[in-house]
Structure 1
Amino acid sequence: MTGPGPASFLFSTSRLLLAVMLTIGASALLTAPAYSAVALSADSLDVPAQRIDERLPAPLLSVARAGDAMIGVGLHGLIQRSTDEGRTWQQVDSPVSSDLVQVRFRDERNGWIVGHDALVMHTTDGGDTWQVQLDGRRLLTLLNAYYGPRAEQGDEAASLVLREVAMAAGTSATPDVLAAPFLDVMFDEHGSGFAVGAFGMLLHSTDNGQNWEPWIERSDNDRRMHLYGLAEHAGTFYIGGEQGLVLRLDGQQQRFVKIDTPYTGTYFGVRAFDGLLLAYGLRGNLFSSRDDGQQWQPVATHLNSSLVSIVEQGNALIVVSQGGQLVSVDRQSLQVTPLADARVGEVYAASATKQAGSLVVTRFSGAKVIDIAQAN
């Protein structure tokens, strides 16, 4: 049985539902206490995020450090900022009300957010203000402009992509918006970066996201598996995805090539360090490689729920599960030390604070600072 063709990344209902739910589980999307009852717009790209009651919990799906501040993002375009290591949060104006899935900062000033409706936003002031760089309208235009000339020259794969694009746009709640979600984004210090998402969506930019080029066909992902997480080290980018998929950027080929791994489940993320590559995913699975993916060894986390974050703490790497369990992994020996459970409910992401021995985790009920303590 063969997998779907190159154009099928845009049109698969069951996989789209998986992409929508992967970060928030079975929680009800529209019942967060902090939000008032308002009429839903047909296009969340046109409606700025509503102001919330900051006394009540609001869902946050991702968090990242920006210098002395922390930025959290979540449902309905919510962006929050903390300047006291995650203890209190203040809402930041957001130009959209689309669900925001991931936030990344390259340095203390430059950061990016991605989310549903093919959204990419950028800040140059540490998260005080945000501007839309790409959305479902612009992506639709971009794909048509990129694949249209190829189709006119007889490229059948490009023609298939165009037909799928038209079908997906035609069934969207807003016909001129391609609503597929981006799930991660990352840039290096030279302004080169990638945005990845559902159905194998892969875009490349060389100017900090001002312009984008489709790279869908420049990856060993013919079945168009979802692409969940990015990592970068020393100019090389890595991607983790469905069904054991790990990709590494080949600079000479300008293509993401597949790295074989011993696991066939989903990888939600990858991390890259000097002499160490990690891939983590479902049911506590964590794998390590010391030779850039040629050989892999399992790391026995003894965690049963999916792994959502790996946070640096000195020479240790704190592995955080969706169930709120923590373990510490020594970066050199890969020895695992159990830590006390956070006991904070379902966790979606985590980030380091500047205070040794603590993390900030994001949950459906907002961000929370937790202490790292060795299990008894």
Structure 2
Amino acid sequence: MFLLLYSVTYTSFADELPVKQNKPIINIPAAEARLASKSLLLDITKVNPNKLVVVGEHGHILLSSDAVNWQQAKVPLQTTLTSVFFVNNELGWAVGHDATILNTVDGGATWQIQQYMPELEKPLFDIIFKTPTEGIAIGAYGLVFRTNDGGISWHNEFHTEFLLPEDAEYLAEIKKEDEEAYLDEASSILPHFNRLVLDKQTLYMVGEIGLMAKSDNFGVTWEPFDDIYQGSFFDISKTKQGDFLVAGLRGHVFQSKDNGITWQAIQTHTTALINDIVLSADDRIFLLANNGTLLESKDQGQSYQLRAQKDGKSLIAGVWFNGKLIAVSDVGVKLISL
């Protein structure tokens, strides 16, 4: 089966980075798999109090009303999917490898391709919408795509505000001498962008090399935070008390009580990579990490208790659902016993 892609163009605050012309592609739909809920799954979201959606390898997207029984959705690609987001009960998006963006208008039962660009050879890691039409997706090497029409078209942005001064000078020099070399360097010089969180009108992003930034115009321009750590961050969250938490490599967690002006390192007594922050309905904070590491805080993130999972499998993402912690891992969906 052949499929024509939606239009994709490149825009930039400094330069336009052209991409190869899109050609018709052969897409193979995700196969129905009886054990899909036990396969590698990379993200989970709570659409409403009665519905969960998870995404993962081989284009698997699954839906459940109880976190026990799962129904596989119809997905037009077998690409690994890394993140899923719903703006309301019916309208959602998923992103993944090959700069893939999928869309659903029926609550996740069926999905359509909005973007698939294997020629980029870059994954997208997160996606968020603030309205049914305004969305942004981020990924490896500073990859950013934006839509203002619900995904009918996606436009790539090159955010020069994340360039180090010496990198900006380097790009300017090689642009004068070799346009092709400039395009190659520009497409790989930025750090990985890992996670987006929207808090009212402010959008937050964390990523590689200690990247933390905020935007008051939905990512059109970004204001990087001061450096507090040179390792990667994989999640940022605002607690019910209004504090910010960021978490990432080697068990590093930092807390801010003044909207990111100052940060305090929090001891976790683990070196496991922390993938996700989950807030419970009863004011607990859970940190989901590799190697079966689960950390629980009952004091607004000041201290954490280790709740090691016996199977040692990585906890990649999670949600609080009907009074339970539901996580996804490299062995599928896990109902965490607390």
- TM-score of the superposed pair, with normalisation by structure 2: 0.78
Mapped partners of 2:225, 2:273: distance in 1: 21
Task: Give the percent of matched residue pairs that are identical in Structure 1 and Structure 2.
Answer: 29
Q: 1:48 maps to which residue?
A: 29
Deviation string 1:314-368 (CA, Å, 9 cap, x unpaired) is 222211111222222357x433241432224322423234332x21221222112
Q: Is the 8 A contact 1:70 1:83 kept in 2?
A: yes
Are 2:149 and 1:207 aligned?
yes
Structure 2 residue corresponding to 1:317, chosen from 254, 279, 285? 285
Post-superposition offset of 1:286: 0.9
Asked if 1 retains the 8 angstrom alpha-carbon contact of 2:203 and 2:214, the reply is yes
> As a proportion of its length, which structure holds more strand?
2
Contact 2:286 2:294 in 1 (8 A): yes
Change (3 A) 1:179 1:337: closer
- The alignment's C-alpha RMSD in Å is 2.7
Q: Which residue of 2 aligns with 1:248?
A: 214
**Separation in structure 2 between the aligned mates of residue 212 and residue 48 of structure 1, nearest angstrom:** 22
Q: How many Å separate the matches in 2 of 1:89 and 1:59?
A: 15
Kept in 1, the 8 Å contact 2:248–2:274? The answer is yes
Name the CA shift for 1:70/1:293 in 2 (closer, same or farther; >3 Å): same
Query: What CA distance in whole angstroms lies between the structure 2 residues aligned with 1:252 and 1:69?
Result: 27
What is the one-letter code of the residue matched to 1:79?
Answer: I
Map of 2:69 onto structure 1? 88
Alignment of 1:66-145 (within 5 A): 66-67=47-48, 68-84=50-66, 86-136=67-117
Unaligned runs of 5+ residues in structure 2 are 1-13, 19-23, 165-188
Question: What letter corresponds to residue 340 of structure 1 in structure 2?
Answer: R
- Structure 1: distance between partners of 2:25 and 2:64: 25
Sort the Cα spacing of 1:235 and 1:206 in 2 relative to 1 into closer, same or farther, 3 A. farther
Work out whether residues 262 and 296 of structure 1, in 8 Å CA contact, stay in contact via their aligned partners in 2: yes
Conserved 8 A contact 2:288-2:318:
no
How much does 1:44 deviate?
Answer: 8.6
Equivalent pairs counted in the alignment come to: 293
Match of 2:325 among 341, 359, 362: 359
Contact kept? 1:303, 1:321, Cα under 8 Å: no
Change (3 A) 1:129 1:218: farther
What is the 5 A alignment of 1:142-221? Answer: 177-189=119-131, 191-217=133-159, 219-221=161-163
- For 1:103 and 1:184, the matched residues in 2 are separated by 7
User: Structure 1 residue 55: deviation in Å?
Assistant: 8.1
Q: Secondary structure at the match of 2:76?
A: coil
Q: Of 294, 297, 318, which residue of structure 2 is paired with 1:326?
A: 294
Amino acid at match of 1:178: L
Q: What secondary structure sits across from 2:222 in the alignment?
A: strand
Q: Summarize the alignment of residues 18-29 of structure 1 with structure 2, pairs less than 5 Å apart.
A: none
| Counterpart selection for 2:195 from 229, 237, 245 | 229
Distance 2:155 2:258 in 1: 30
Within a 5 Å distance, the mapping from 1:237-276 to structure 2 comes to 237-251=203-217, 254-273=220-239, 275-276=242-243
CA–CA separation in structure 2 for the residues paired with 1:186 and 1:311: 17
**Which one of the candidate residues 274, 279, 299 is aligned to 2:266?**
299
SS at match of 1:255: coil
Structure 2: which amino acid aligns with 1:203? F
Q: Distance in 1 between matches of 2:147 and 2:36?
A: 39
Give the equivalent residue in structure 2 for 1:345.
Answer: 312
**Does structure 2 conserve the Cα–Cα contact (< 8 Å) formed by 1:45 and 1:96?**
no
Q: Which moved more, 1:291-300 or 1:55-64?
A: 55-64
Which residue of structure 2 aligns with residue 285 of structure 1? 252
Q: Point out where structure 1 has 5 or more consecutive residues left out of the alignment.
A: 1-5, 11-42, 137-173
Residue 293 (structure 1) shift: 1.5
User: 1:81·1:127 contact (CA, 8 Å) conserved in 2?
Assistant: yes
Q: Is the 8 A contact 1:342 1:371 kept in 2?
A: no
Deviation at 1:273, TM superposition (A): 4.8
Q: 1:253 to 1:90 in 2, by over 3 A?
A: closer
CA deviation string 1:7-42 (max 9, x = no partner)? 9x99xxxxxxxxxxxxxxxxxxxxxxxxxxxxxxxx
Offset of 1:216 from its aligned partner? Answer: 1.4
> What is aligned with 2:11?
none
**Residues 92-143 of structure 1, C-alpha deviations (whole Å, 9 max, x = no match):** 111101111111223332322110111011222221111222221xxxxxxx
For the Cα contact (< 8 Å) 1:87–1:368, is it kept in 2? no
TM normalised by structure 1 equals: 0.71
CA distance in 2, matches of 1:289, 1:190: 31
8 Å contact from structure 2 (residues 201, 216) kept in 1: no
Letter in 2 for 1:363: S
